[in-house]
Structure 1
Amino acid sequence: MLIAILTDLHANREALEACLAHARQQKAGRYAFLGDLVGYGADPVWVLDTVMDYVRQGAWALIGNHDAALLPGDKQGMNPTARKVVDWTKEQLRPDQVEFIAQLPYRIEWEDILFVHANAWAPEKWEYIDGVMEATRSMHATRASITFCGHVHMPTLFHLSLTGKTGEFLPTPEEGIPLSKQRRWLVIPGSAGQPRDGNPAACYATFDTDTQELTYYRIPYDAETACQKIISAGLPPALGHRLINGN
């Protein structure tokens, strides 16, 4: 089965549409959405409705910190720009969408795979995997051979050898990577809705459970339209401009 893994959608309709269309072309049989469905972007209603529809058809979905910020009682710290978008997003959503977010889990385990938004050691605390040290901590915190993780907006792959040594490398898009069962893996697909590595193309990945092959993708999309929607909604223009620049 081919699983399409998308994370950090950030209410970016144009990016999500492009990624889903590409995943359908690859004949993905199941989908995993690793959180931060909303925040930053101008289409939270459409993005949530789309994810909700996929979940009804058997997809997995997790809660991210921007999603959790919409719920009553959330006290996490956010910068003023992110908080402004959260407040705006609250005014857009229907009660059933907020209810959907409230029931999303922090982690999902399936066979030998773990899906989380932030990390495996404390997914509810939203700590980042910024490098080898945090990646090692996360891989040691689970028995799963493969962890798929969001929160970080740059595509990266970590692996832990039998001797306990952790390696890190930046994947090349569209080049299949066999994930040996002799190692543990931590896969960060990168952000579909707000890439930050200088490349504005949306990020997502697929994993073939039969061949154990992982593939990263970069998908061009209409970032200009997504940018203009952000500005027209009265949200901080910088959030739109960064989509065009990919930073």
Structure 2
Amino acid sequence: MRLALLTDIHANREAFEAVLADLSQRQIDRLVFLGDIVGYGPDPGWCIDQVESLVAKGAIALRGNHDRAIGVSDKILNANARRVIDWTVNRLNARQKLFLSELPLEVQDGDTLFVHASANDPADWLYVNSESTARPSFLVCDARLIFCGHVHRAALYSCDLAGRVSHLDIAPGNPMPLLQSRRWLGVIGSVGQPRDGTTLASYAILDRDLNELTFRRVGYDATTTARKSREAGLPEALAQRLMKGI
């Protein structure tokens, strides 16, 4: 079975469409959305509707911190993020808000655990961005494979039988073997707001039969998304971020 792992769409229709188009050319058995469908971007309703329709066809979808903030005041968000959430709330209908509110924080599927931020505390929105911050996720569960987003930069960590956690270099497009002798934590890069110095949308494919994870990058029309963001009156810094990938 081959799973497509998508996260942090952040209401970016152009990036989401580009990733879905890329997926249509590949053999994919199931889609998994790791949270943050909304926030930052100008097309929240469209993105929610797309994810909801795919969930109706068997996809898995989780709730991220921006999704949660639609219905629950979250003082953790920075000023720009909070401003966009307030804007987004007024552009969603009751059904879309209900869909976000009912999404789970984590899903266990066999030997695989899906979360938005960290398995250590899914509701605390911790960032897995180093070996030390990856280690707690391995300690709190026995899942062989853990996948999350939230960081907006792709990464891969492994944990050996002695509990030693290592960070592995990744090369987009090249399958990474997930050896059975180790446990793995994959941080999936953002579809709609990459922060690793490139504007390319990011996602990953998990091949369960081959035990391989492939990180992928897809080009999209970031200029259009930035223009729509400005026209909506969203913070200029967010449009700039799209154009620079930072």
Query: Does the alignment reach a TM-score above 0.5?
Result: yes
Contact kept, 8 Å, 2:198 with 2:245, in 1: the verdict is: yes
Letter in 1 for 2:116: H
Contact kept, 8 Å, 2:105 with 2:115, in 1: the verdict is: yes
Query: Displacement, 1:169?
Result: 2.4
* Residue matched to 2:78: 79
Give per-residue Cα distances to partners, 1:146-198, cap 9 Å, x unaligned: 00101111110000011221110231011011101110100011111100010
Which SS does the other structure have where 2:24 is aligned? helix
Question: Within 2, Cα distance between the matches of 1:124 and 1:76?
Answer: 14
What is the percent sequence identity of the aligned residues? 46
Letter in 2 for 1:50: Q
Query: Displacement, 1:121?
Result: 1.3
Counting matched residue pairs gives 246
* Residue matched to 1:59: 59
* Residue matched to 1:127: 126
* Residue matched to 1:35: 35
Question: Within 2, Cα distance between the matches of 1:144 and 1:210?
Answer: 17
* Residue matched to 1:232: 231
* Residue matched to 1:188: 187
Question: Within 2, Cα distance between the matches of 1:165 and 1:240?
Answer: 40
Contact kept, 8 Å, 2:128 with 2:187, in 1: the verdict is: no
Which SS does the other structure have where 1:124 is aligned? coil
* Residue matched to 2:155: 156
Give per-residue Cα distances to partners, 1:114-158, cap 9 Å, x unaligned: 000010111011111121111011111111100010111111000
Question: Within 2, Cα distance between the matches of 1:240 and 1:3?
Answer: 31
* Residue matched to 2:12: 12
Contact kept, 8 Å, 2:160 with 2:181, in 1: the verdict is: yes
Query: Displacement, 1:104?
Result: 0.3
* Unmatched tracts of structure 1, length 5 or more: none
Query: Displacement, 1:76?
Result: 3.6
Question: Within 2, Cα distance between the matches of 1:16 and 1:108?
Answer: 22
Question: Within 2, Cα distance between the matches of 1:74 and 1:83?
Answer: 9
Contact kept, 8 Å, 1:69 with 1:76, in 2: the verdict is: no
Give per-residue Cα distances to partners, 1:31-58, cap 9 Å, x unaligned: 0000010000000011000000000000
Query: Displacement, 1:75?
Result: 3.5
* Residue matched to 2:144: 145
Which SS does the other structure have where 1:93 is aligned? coil
Moved over 6 A (4+): none
Letter in 2 for 1:179: L
Contact kept, 8 Å, 1:155 with 1:170, in 2: the verdict is: no
* Unmatched tracts of structure 2, length 5 or more: none
What is the TM-score with the length of structure 1 in the denominator? 0.98
Residue 200, structure 1, aligned to residue 209, structure 2: no
* Residue matched to 1:116: 115
Question: Equivalent residues in 2 for 1:97-108 (5 A)?
Answer: 97-108=96-107
Greater shift in the superposed pair: 161-170 or 4-13? 161-170
Query: Displacement, 1:74?
Result: 2.9
* Residue matched to 2:21: 21
* Residue matched to 2:217: 218
* Residue matched to 1:70: 70
